[in-house]
């Protein structure tokens, strides 16, 4: 996937961003963001496996600064969003919305008709972003995610018809 135009988000019009493919060489910066935002972050191995499997993986940059990234897996005519993350400094500036738009554009170009994802039921910010983008809840996976101290929480399964 190559998305080379310079982009801005409506909420951060002064910041010029661009997409670049995420490669193993970029993982130090990605892991730093990953560990700063998730209680249960992906490991280097998770990212390496995803890249080795040929999943779509893009990072969003402003200059050399990593704004965010996403990883998605195409399965026949569906795309499963596996990871979408915006760094703490760049939250609430519309960058997740922009990445979802880029993902949908790429998925349509691949002839896909559905986007799918799972999200922790406590992740109200992400659920809000997904709903705003047209995702609807289609299922609930009980005890899907670890939350620590042996406890688990449910995942909302959401889909979006392209």
Ligand X SMILES: CC(C)(COP(=O)(O)OP(=O)(O)OC[C@H]1O[C@@H](n2cnc3c(N)ncnc32)[C@H](O)[C@@H]1OP(=O)(O)O)[C@@H](O)C(=O)NCCC(=O)NCCS
| Interface with ligand X (CB under 6 A) | 37, 84-86, 91-97, 119, 123-126, 128-129, 132
Q: With respect to ligand X, which residue has the nearer C-beta, 106 or 135?
A: 135
| 60 to 10, 28, 46, 85, 138: CA distances (angstroms) | 15, 15, 19, 10, 29
Least distance to ligand X from the beta carbon of 12, Å?
A: 9
Q: With respect to ligand X, which residue has the nearer C-beta, 48 or 124?
A: 124
Least distance to ligand X from the beta carbon of 94, Å?
A: 5
Catalytic annotation, residues: 118, 130
Least distance to ligand X from the beta carbon of 20, Å?
A: 18
Least distance to ligand X from the beta carbon of 162, Å?
A: 19
Q: With respect to ligand X, which residue has the nearer C-beta, 58 or 93?
A: 93
Residue closest to ligand X, measured at CB: 96
Q: What is the DSSP string of the chain?
A: ----S-EEETTEEEEEEEEEE--GGGHHHHHHHHHHH-SSPPPHHHHHHHHHTT-EEEEEEETTEEEEEEEEEEETTEEEEEEEEE-GGGTTSSHHHHHHHHHHHHHHHTT--EEEEEEETT-HHHHHHHHHTT-EEEEEEEEEEEEETTEEEEEEEEEEE-
Q: With respect to ligand X, which residue has the nearer C-beta, 84 or 112?
A: 84
């Amino acid at each position: 996937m190559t998305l080379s135009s310079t982009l801005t988000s409506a909420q951060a019009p002064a910041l010029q961003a661009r997409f670049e493919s995420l490669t193993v060489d970029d993982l130090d910066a990605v892991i730093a963001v990953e560990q700063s935002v998730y209680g249960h972050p992906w490991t280097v191995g998770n990212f390496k496996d995803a890249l080795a499997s040929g999943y779509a993986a893009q990072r969003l940059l402003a200059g050399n600064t990593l704004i965010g990234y996403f990883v998605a897996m195409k399965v026949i005519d569906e795309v499963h969003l596996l990871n979408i993350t915006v760094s703490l400094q760049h939250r609430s500036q519309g960058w997740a919305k922009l990445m979802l738009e880029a993902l949908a554009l790429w998925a349509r170009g691949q002839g896909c008709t559905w986007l799918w994802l799972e999200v922790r039921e406590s992740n109200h910010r992400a659920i809000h972003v997904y709903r705003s983008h047209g995702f609807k809840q289609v299922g609930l996976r009980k005890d899907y995610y670890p939350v620590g101290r042996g406890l688990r929480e449910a995942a909302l399964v959401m889909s979006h018809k392209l």
